[in-house]
Amino acid sequence: MFAVGFLARPVGAWLMGVYADRAGRKAALVASVALMCLGSLVVAVLPGYATIGQAAPIILTIARLVQGLSVGGEYGASATYMSEVAGKARRGFWSSFQFVTLIGGQLCALGVLILLQHTLTKGQLEDWGWRIPFVIGALLAVVVFWIQNGLEETRSFEAVDHSVKRMSTTWRLISHHPTETAMVFVLSSAGGLSFYCFTTYMQKFLTNTAHFSRDVATQISAVSLVAYLLVIPLFGWLGDKLGRRVLLVASFGVGSLVVWPIMSALSVAKDANLALALVCATVVILAGYSAVNAVVKAELFPTHLRALGVSLPYAVGNAVFGGTAEYVALWFKQSGHESGFYVYVGIVEAAACLVALRMRDTQRLSLLVED
């Protein structure tokens, strides 16, 4: 069911991308949050199998699909919106906060998990406690929905003629911008794979491979996420000063070289402080990509195709590589060649580094012309 949500993301990216290019960034953001609110609320109040039988897993799967549609559509709309409303001089810095809020959400989720684990018994968690995070998610979505209603549409979107807005189609995107679409796919594939490897999967890796306790692994993950969150705006600022492409090349280039030695060292680490330092190193390196990924992708496409161009290849790359990261890692582990996963991550990052080297300097040759 977790995988089903990832598979729905490309569909959501396509639907919301076209919608954002035709109806507006604000309209797409409001729609995506409404879908997330609905999906979370359904999960929170859904009766179990013992009450409604086979309908329970069916409805739960549908709720996950709705959430996947929401997440797939939200990225392109928010990345486009933030890139278009930010001024040219500090576009990298302000757009970096998209990823800051993503990490902030992960930290909030982790905080709720830790609080529930320390206040409820295992039986209470399994019986009804697991519903609490979904209730909180649904309520937060309502708050965000209210905030987004007060947003103004971007000048970039409003400047486009209505007849041009109707030209946002998948065929036009692929036929007119095949290279840019492929670049976003590769960059997103490497970024998504690295992100899920060093954040979501890392907690399991520290427990199953490095043999730290769950509490210690959770604490290491939480502290590393805080470090990740704090350095992203700094890299966004550096992107405005040094150029986005420099950060992408450095992030994926260094990442491809150090992922194998760092993961190998983590697998045999006995000291929690050493493990924390190594995990922090991985997310700090990845922060170079995370800080500028939204604005780089937005600068590659014209306004009438921007949301679709940002969201669709991103969602496909994230679903194919990010969504399968844990499954691939566990497959290598079960086959007795866990280090093969480190090599796999390094190869995908190296491919993204080569793409970044060949792409144009979006800061200097941006299609996002409105300031």
The pLDDT of 35-42, averaged and rounded, is 89
- What Å distances lie between residue 58 and 47, 62, 64, 100, 334, CA to CA? 12, 6, 10, 34, 30
Most confident of 47-61, 100-114, 344-358: 344-358
The pLDDT of 67-72, averaged and rounded, is 86
The pLDDT of 59-74, averaged and rounded, is 88
Domain 2-358, CATH: 1.20.1250.20
The alpha carbon of residue 282 and the mean position of all alpha carbons in its chain are separated, in whole angstroms, by: 16
Contact in structure between 58 and 4 (CB atoms under 8 Å): no
pLDDT(368) > 80: no
pLDDT tens figures, 104-159: 888 888 888 888 988 988 889 888 999 999 999 888 877 877 777 777 887 787 77
Q: Which residue has the tokens 């409001």?
A: 30
**pLDDT of amino acid 75:** 84
Q: Which tokens is 36 given?
A: 């997330």
**pLDDT of amino acid 232:** 95
Angle, vertex CA 191, rays to CA 314 and CA 302, nearest 5? 40
DSSP class of residue 359? S
The pLDDT of 146-173, averaged and rounded, is 77
Ranges of each domain in the chain: 2-358
Q: Which of 285, 277, 230, 231 is nearest to 259 (CA)?
A: 285
Q: What pTM, to 2 d.p., does this model score? A: 0.87
- Give the number of other Cβ atoms within 10 Å of residue 23's Cβ: 16
The pLDDT of 57-72, averaged and rounded, is 89
pLDDT(370) > 60: no
> Over the Cα atoms of the chain, what is R_g?
20
The alpha carbon of residue 333 and the mean position of all alpha carbons in its chain are separated, in whole angstroms, by: 25
pLDDT tens figures, 227-285: 999 999 999 999 888 888 999 999 999 999 999 999 999 999 989 999 999 999 999 99
Helix (H, G, I), strand (E, B) or coil at 239: helix
pLDDT tens figures, 186-209: 999 999 999 999 988 998 999 999
pLDDT(71) > 80: yes
Q: Which residue has the tokens 């300031």?
A: 371
DSSP class of residue 339? H
- Averaged pLDDT of the chain: 88
**pLDDT of amino acid 165:** 67
Helix 97-119 / helix 55-85 crossing angle, nearest 10 deg: 140
- pLDDT-derived band at 95 (thresholds 50, 70, 90) equals confident
- pLDDT-derived band at 365 (thresholds 50, 70, 90) equals low
Proportion of the chain in helix, strand, coil states, percent, rounded to 5: 85, 0, 15
